[in-house]
Chain A
Amino acid sequence: MFFLKKVKKKVKKQQEQNQKQQNQNQQQQGFLSNNLDQNLQELQNIYQNCMDVVFRQFQIGGKTKAALIYIDGLANIEETDASVLAPLMKESDVRVNGEQQSIDMGIDVNHILEQKLTVSKIKKVRTITECIEYISGGSPVLLIDKQIEGFALGLSKWEKRSIEEPVGESVIRGPREGFTESLGTNLALLRRKMRSPQLKMKSMKIGEYTQTEVVISYIEGIAEQTLLQEVETRLNRIKVDGILETSYIEEYIEDNPYSPFPQVLNTERPDVVVASLLEGRVAILQDGTPFALIVPVSFYSLLQSTEDYYQRSLISTVTRWLRYLFLLISLLLPSLYVAILTFHQEMIPTTLLVTIAASRELVPFPALVEALIMEIVFEALREAGVRLPKQAGAAVSIVGALVIGQAAVQAGIVSAPLIMVVSLTGIASFTIPRYTAGIALRMLRFPMILLAGTLGLLGIMLGLLMILTHMAALRSFGVPYLSPLAPMQGREMKDVLVRAPWWKLNTRPSLTDNIQRQGPNQKPNPDYGNDKTSKGKGGSL
């Protein structure tokens, strides 16, 4: 027996030496050592002055040392207590690896994993970096003495907003759920709408300090590989300390960063993302913001509202045309007012001209200055209305109504027709469903007013031609911005000029080679001749 003990001691010494060497090697590569204290020491060094990180040390079955490391507020403490700490600490029959003699090798991990821990999501971690990644992500990490592996427990839980209707993109008909700030929730929302395993989600991390998780989502077989690669290369290029919103990413991946026009679509709606994925586009989601990015987009897709596809096709078509009309109004109306009053008075019908002249009689400014002042005031009011707290908002709207309204006219600073022009422009710019596209046109209005004031209708035309040239040259991830109108894609016109019924929208945009999106003969074709039910009712159509 004694001899045996001696041998054991020797073996143990050797093992310890070996392990020490191993430990040193492993620690140099950032691996966890099999010494709990050492691991804890290292983590504590890293998490120095981080009072939100909790190191909970305990013993499994009163014998083996273990520690649980988590961030207070990110980990689900109740769950952890109930399904990790309780079963482990109450553990009485600590089974060891193999036979009694190798007790120093530690406890039987598989036994713990298989029978004790009532946690569904457990990941093994081997390096310190991995540990930190999971701890920072909210998952408590369980480290056990004599084990070179730690266990990240999927028990993260933090305060998050519930799923609400997106404020910026509300609809009358259609799903009302919107993305939240939690990436997991957002991905789940997508997956619930598309069950096919073809829906892929690739994860990556952007931001040296924020380590923000970014997910590229696409449908395999529909999205082009080249597009996907382009998206990935552009995302991989981003080297920045942190990203807080997808707009950061947007500015890094745009084709033309100086263009006033948005070349990436952002949305809060899962149904918009799924619809875009089905058209062969790629979505970029980011943790911490409810806004997903969709690329590539054309100018027309920015003018389409979600609801176009949920209303009946005829109504959507009319709405679309209304929108195109008001798009022009939001860009051109003030400049037309200035141009016509300054250069082309003969175009106004006589009676109207008399009225306008009468109302402008007391106004000291030329039309150009008048329009510029009022448009700037309107923009300021809009900005103030967005930023102010709700209680003050009401006051602003009352004062605003006076400023751009009757009082301004009575004070003789502006004329009444201009008030109409400004408010109509304001309304028009809000008919554009995408805020970013609307704001681009609203900003372009100012150079247009200046051009109209200097060169009249000619100036407006020159300005329009410049904008058009710019748009024709613009691309979003290689796709011409004005497509499918220029370059012309006749097939896609049925979703631009009109909104054809769903059974007619049988092809995808030419972003993808997988063009067919529905079977043939999808037009509803009720056959009343052979229908027995209609015979019974005696009705014939």
Chain B
Amino acid sequence: MIEKGKISATQMGIMMYLTIIATAILLVPAITARQAKQDMWLSPFWASFIGFLTVYIAVQLHQLYPQKNLIEYSEDILGKFLGKAVGLIFLFFYLHVSGIIIREYGEFIVGSFLLHTPLVFVMGTIILVCSFAVRCGLEVIGRLAEMIVPVVIIMILILLILLIPDMEVANMFPIMEKGMMPSLKGAVIPQGWFTEFFLIAFLLPYVADRNKAKKWGMISVVAVMLTLSFVNIAVLFVLGELTAGFIYPAMSAVRYISIAGFLEHIEAIVAALWVAGVFLKIAVFYYALVLGTAQWLNLSDYRPIIFPVGFLLLLFSIWSASNLMELTHFLGSSSPFYRISIQMGIPLILLFIAKWRKRASNSNQGKYQG
């Protein structure tokens, strides 16, 4: 195995939690609000079903091939040629998605804080920092997650508490005015984030306490669901119908915080902490990409390709969209189907074929024995 480090199931869960919410917390409220209106807080519940399903598929595949990750077992399932093809699809998908994540980060930083700094520089620095984390291996990324997540959770809680004076509970009513449909429609795009849980397919072989992996995967989904729901509620209470009009509603809501005329404009601090979350998200994607590439090319070590891949990531982040409008349009329209078809569709097919092959080989054995 290329990766010699081991992480605990808890670390995996924590890692995935931050990986999902890092960008979701920023973009999901507005995207959900466009469809679900005042029922936006319900949408994460529906979307999370996809999350549970994804974790289930990943864990099932893992149980069939305990020592291998997606790139490796797809060859076992589909044969050399098709397996490599599926691996290539995944690698390009993660290259593209990581590029988009880095672009989201860059657009946010340049748009909100460093107005005069070139986009490429902002994106380049985060890729550089992430590449150091990836170089240190999975163990270190897991430990980083353990350090960052408590801070992020505490920050979210403090922000929710500080926002209480600006909250208007009436914004929530009427609940389910037009039935379930708006909230279900609102869930279509957030489920794209939940499909990212399929990343655990790359982490599961390195989890030390395997029997707990499924449990922590599920706990992670629940935590993401609750966090998104709470953030949606908070944003809805503060901004009301205006939510859909913002690009980053959660950030805009934070601007409302003003305690005793002293604690104001803390969005820069919030953004700085959010950077820590995105850092981890990019690091996890980057790691999966680099590890997968090394396995796909049958390399013995993934470290030499970290910087070349980082350079590719920078290119893909520039190519992924020409401007922020195009990016949000892509995220709000076709991206959920793109994500679900690759991160859930292909694995589902793999799982069916794997199960079928296993059954076939079992019955064959039965025949010979009989």
Which of B56-64, B173-181, B215-223, B271-279 lines the interface with chain A?
B271-279
- Any chain A CB within 8 A of the CB of B109? yes
- Any chain B CB within 8 A of the CB of A469? yes
Complex Cα gap A472–B134 (Å): 12
Chain B residues lying within 8 Å of A487, measured Cβ to Cβ, are: 8, 11, 142-143, 146
Contact present for A468 and B266 (CB under 8 Å): no
Contact present for B114 and A455 (CB under 8 Å): yes
Closest to B7 in A: A487
> Which A residues, 448 to 484, have Cβ-Cβ distances below 8 Å to chain B?
455-458, 460-462, 464-466, 468-470, 472-473, 480, 482
Complex Cα gap A480–B7 (Å): 13
Contact present for B136 and A462 (CB under 8 Å): no
Which of B125-133, B191-199, B339-347 lines the interface with chain A?
B125-133
Q: Which of A344, A458, A460, A468 contacts B147 (CB under 8 A)?
A: A468
- Any chain A CB within 8 A of the CB of B3? no
Contact with A along B151-181 (1 / 0, CB 8 A): 0000000000000000000000000000000
Contact with A along B95-124 (1 / 0, CB 8 A): 000000000000001000110010000100
Complex Cα gap A485–B144 (Å): 10
Contact present for A482 and B125 (CB under 8 Å): no
**How many residue pairs between the two chains, A and B, have CB atoms under 8 Å in the bound complex?**
91
Complex Cα gap A468–B369 (Å): 58
> Which B residues, 1 to 45, have Cβ-Cβ distances below 8 Å to chain A?
8, 10-11
Chain B residues lying within 8 Å of A464, measured Cβ to Cβ, are: 276
Contact present for B129 and A458 (CB under 8 Å): no
Is the interface on chain A under 10, 10 to 19, 20 to 34, or 35 or more residues?
A: 20 to 34
Given A457-B271, A487-B11, A469-B144 contact (CB < 8 Å):
yes
- Any chain A CB within 8 A of the CB of B268? yes
Chain A residues lying within 8 Å of B261, measured Cβ to Cβ, are: 349
Complex Cα gap A234–B265 (Å): 53
- Any chain A CB within 8 A of the CB of B264? yes
Given A347-B264, A347-B266, A457-B268, A472-B147 contact (CB < 8 Å):
yes
Q: Which of A456, A466, A485 contacts B132 (CB under 8 A)?
A: A466
Q: A426 CB to closest chain B CB, in angstroms?
A: 24
Contact present for B129 and A465 (CB under 8 Å): yes
Contact present for A462 and B132 (CB under 8 Å): no
Chain B residues lying within 8 Å of A461, measured Cβ to Cβ, are: 272-273, 275-276, 279
Contact present for B147 and A482 (CB under 8 Å): yes
- Any chain A CB within 8 A of the CB of B140? yes
Most buried by A among B140, B261, B262, B275: B140
Chain A residues lying within 8 Å of B10, measured Cβ to Cβ, are: 488
- Any chain B CB within 8 A of the CB of A114? no
Given A455-B125, A487-B8, A347-B136 contact (CB < 8 Å):
no
Is the interface on chain B under 10, 10 to 19, 20 to 34, or 35 or more residues?
A: 35 or more
Complex Cα gap A488–B14 (Å): 11
Chain B residues lying within 8 Å of A47, measured Cβ to Cβ, are: none
Contact present for A456 and B113 (CB under 8 Å): yes
Closest to B6 in A: A487
Complex Cα gap A288–B269 (Å): 50
Q: Is the interface of A mostly helix, strand, loop or mixed?
A: helix
Chain B residues lying within 8 Å of A465, measured Cβ to Cβ, are: 129, 133, 144, 275-276, 279
Complex Cα gap A480–B273 (Å): 24
Contact present for B125 and A462 (CB under 8 Å): yes
Chain A residues lying within 8 Å of B269, measured Cβ to Cβ, are: 347, 457
Chain B residues lying within 8 Å of A462, measured Cβ to Cβ, are: 125-126, 129, 275, 279
Q: A518 CB to closest chain B CB, in angstroms?
A: 28
Contact present for B113 and A469 (CB under 8 Å): no
- Any chain B CB within 8 A of the CB of A241? no
Complex Cα gap A409–B144 (Å): 42
Contact present for A472 and B262 (CB under 8 Å): no
- Any chain B CB within 8 A of the CB of A486? yes
> Which A residues, 413 to 457, have Cβ-Cβ distances below 8 Å to chain B?
455-457
> Which A residues, 52 to 87, have Cβ-Cβ distances below 8 Å to chain B?
none
Contact with B along A340-362 (1 / 0, CB 8 A): 00011011010000000000000
Given A461-B276, A480-B143, A488-B146, A469-B133 contact (CB < 8 Å):
yes
Closest to B150 in A: A485
Contact present for B275 and A343 (CB under 8 Å): no
Closest to A350 in B: B261
Contact present for A347 and B268 (CB under 8 Å): yes
Complex Cα gap A457–B274 (Å): 11
Chain A residues lying within 8 Å of B272, measured Cβ to Cβ, are: 457-458, 460-461
Closest to A352 in B: B262
> Which A residues, 325 to 340, have Cβ-Cβ distances below 8 Å to chain B?
none
Q: A487 CB to closest chain B CB, in angstroms?
A: 6
Closest to B142 in A: A487
Complex Cα gap A460–B272 (Å): 8
Q: B148 CB to closest chain A CB, in angstroms?
A: 8
Contact present for A458 and B143 (CB under 8 Å): no
Q: A65 CB to closest chain B CB, in angstroms?
A: 69
Most buried by B among A455, A469, A473: A469
Contact present for A455 and B144 (CB under 8 Å): no
Chain B residues lying within 8 Å of A458, measured Cβ to Cβ, are: 109, 113-114, 122, 271-272, 275
Given A457-B271, A462-B129, A343-B114 contact (CB < 8 Å):
yes
Chain A residues lying within 8 Å of B273, measured Cβ to Cβ, are: 461
Contact present for B268 and A469 (CB under 8 Å): no
Q: B367 CB to closest chain A CB, in angstroms?
A: 49
Given A344-B268, A472-B143, A349-B276 contact (CB < 8 Å):
no
Q: A268 CB to closest chain B CB, in angstroms?
A: 32
Chain A residues lying within 8 Å of B109, measured Cβ to Cβ, are: 458
Q: A327 CB to closest chain B CB, in angstroms?
A: 14
Contact present for A343 and B113 (CB under 8 Å): yes
Complex Cα gap A343–B116 (Å): 11
> Which B residues, 241 to 290, have Cβ-Cβ distances below 8 Å to chain A?
261-262, 264-266, 268-269, 271-273, 275-276, 279
Most buried by B among A343, A466, A468, A480: A468
Contact present for A346 and B265 (CB under 8 Å): yes
Chain B residues lying within 8 Å of A344, measured Cβ to Cβ, are: 113, 265, 268
Complex Cα gap A482–B144 (Å): 10
Closest to A488 in B: B146
Q: A37 CB to closest chain B CB, in angstroms?
A: 66
Contact present for A472 and B264 (CB under 8 Å): no
Contact present for A486 and B265 (CB under 8 Å): no
Contact present for A486 and B129 (CB under 8 Å): no
Complex Cα gap A469–B133 (Å): 6
Q: A527 CB to closest chain B CB, in angstroms?
A: 40
Given A349-B262, A465-B276, A472-B140, A457-B147 contact (CB < 8 Å):
no
Complex Cα gap A460–B279 (Å): 13
Closest to A348 in B: B265
Q: Which of B129, B143, B146, B266 contacts A466 (CB under 8 A)?
A: B129
Given A349-B262, A466-B132, A486-B144 contact (CB < 8 Å):
yes
Most buried by A among B10, B143, B144, B273: B143
Contact with B along A483-509 (1 / 0, CB 8 A): 001111000000000000000000000
Give 3 nearest A-B pairs by CB, closest first: A486-B143, A486-B146, A473-B136
User: What are some 27 contacts across the A-B interface (CB < 8 A)?
Assistant: A344-B265, A347-B264, A347-B265, A347-B266, A455-B117, A457-B269, A458-B113, A458-B122, A460-B272, A462-B275, A462-B279, A464-B276, A465-B129, A465-B133, A465-B144, A465-B276, A469-B133, A469-B144, A472-B140, A472-B147, A473-B140, A480-B143, A485-B146, A486-B142, A486-B146, A486-B147, A488-B10
- Chain A positions near chain B (C-beta within 8 angstroms): 343-344, 346-347, 349, 455-458, 460-462, 464-466, 468-470, 472-473, 480, 482, 485-488
Given contacts A347-B266, A462-B126, A468-B148, 20 further A-B contacts (CB under 8 A): A344-B268, A349-B262, A455-B114, A455-B125, A457-B113, A461-B275, A462-B129, A462-B275, A465-B275, A469-B132, A469-B133, A469-B140, A469-B144, A473-B137, A482-B143, A485-B147, A487-B11, A487-B142, A487-B143, A488-B146
- Chain B positions near chain A (C-beta within 8 angstroms): 8, 10-11, 109, 113-114, 117, 122, 125-126, 129, 132-133, 136-137, 140, 142-144, 146-148, 261-262, 264-266, 268-269, 271-273, 275-276, 279
